[in-house]
Amino acid sequence: MPGRRSSAREGAPRRVCRDIRMTGSTPRVSVVVPVFQGERVIGDCLVSVLGQTFPHDQYEIVVVNNGSTDRTGALVEGFPVRVVEEPRLGVAFARNRGVEAARGELVAFTDADCLAEPTWLAALVAHFDAHVQLAGVGGHLPGYDPRTPVQYYIPDRRLLSQERALGGERGYAPFLITANALLVRRLIVEVGGFDTAFATNSEDADLCWRIGDLGYGFGFAPEAVVWHRHRGTLRALCRWMFRYGRESAYLLKKHRHRCGIRWVHFDWPHYGQWLLAIGRFCQPWPLRAPVWERRFAGYDILRSACYTAGRVVGSIENRAIIL
């Protein structure tokens, strides 16, 4: 496996919880954390967000309990944070509820399965303040404490990469991954918030593209680090890729004017990469080749198949051929 485990452990945030009491003044930043069935991870997440070096009287934490039925609600009540309920399932519903409850002019997003470095929020705000005409800023999203082959595979293939999202690859406009993002609240509201038709994926790209239509850009602050707990099993990876392909069909149909596509669209680069992965997996491998290389090539084939299956289902649901 690629040597990533030690760097994740050495760079992980310390478990130090600082007592933050909300004052009567209005905070500049609202940190929104949506959570669903997160009893195993929400505590570590909130400890990391509470331990920021950013002035404590300038930010608040809004936890959106998205219909959890486990011990999430009881655990969150033990932290000095604001808790709001959103019974309608879906991350877009939860983030919209958080934005609605936010008091800050800026909204920082992260997820319950993430851990923020102590300087995360300060780095995002500093980058935002230093650049004009920005609607938001995103930070680096490394994997936290990888232990399974899939958890090494995800960063190796840059499947959850802020740099890739902001790079505008394959002709798509830049966007921010909301596991580590800061956005102007006024602009989120102005474009109508997150589209709740997206259940689990692509809602961040859709929101950013609509904000981009107003003439704003997005920045990248590499020093603003949030560690993400990547999916650990092959089954979880396949489900993620299927949902991603399914919801990307709606995303591309909605933004077909931006992507230059009509009712029929074939993503030829995707199929080219799929064939390349098949050829790479089937080729004779040197005896001294790292075992993970062949395994990762197999993951590439399976990931592409699940993504394509999702695109087929999404095309049927949205009455458009986007494959």
Tokens representing 299 are: 């993951």
Number of Cβ within 10 Å of residue 263's Cβ equals 11
**Residues in the chain, pLDDT under 70:** 1-24, 171, 287
Q: What is the pLDDT of residue 21?
A: 35
Q: What is the pLDDT of residue 130?
A: 97
Q: What is the pLDDT of residue 131?
A: 95
Helix or strand holding residue 124 (H, E): helix 120-130
Angle at 48 between CA 237 and CA 31, to 5 degrees: 85
Q: Rounded to whole angstroms, what are the CA distances from 118 to 45, 55, 127, 167, 208?
A: 12, 11, 16, 26, 26
Angle at 239 between CA 266 and CA 93, to 5 degrees: 90
Give the model confidence (pLDDT) of 197-219 as tens digits.
998 899 999 999 999 999 999 99
Q: What is the pLDDT of residue 257?
A: 81
Phi then psi for residue 93, to 5 deg, are -60, -45
Tokens representing 167 are: 């790079």
Residues 6+ apart with CB under 8 A from 234: 150, 299, 302
CATH number attached to the domain at 5-231: 3.90.550.10
Pairing between strand 180-184 and 321-322? unpaired
For 61-73, letters b (16+ CB in 10 Å) and e give bbbbbbbbeeebb
Q: What is the pLDDT of residue 4?
A: 37
Q: Is 107 helix (H, G, I), strand (E, B) or coil?
A: strand
Residues 6+ apart with CB under 8 A from 207: 175, 188, 191, 193, 194, 195
Cα–Cα dist 82/124, whole Å: 22
Cα–Cα dist 91/179, whole Å: 11
Q: Rounded to whole angstroms, what are the CA distances from 153 to 57, 120, 232, 293?
A: 40, 25, 10, 10
Q: Where are the beta strands (DSSP E) in 229-284?
A: 264-265
Angle at 220 between CA 175 and CA 132, to 5 degrees: 90
Tokens representing 55 are: 């002035």
Q: What is the pLDDT of residue 163?
A: 96
- Amino acid at position 209, single letter: W
Give the rounded distance of the alpha carbon of 191 from its chain centre: 20
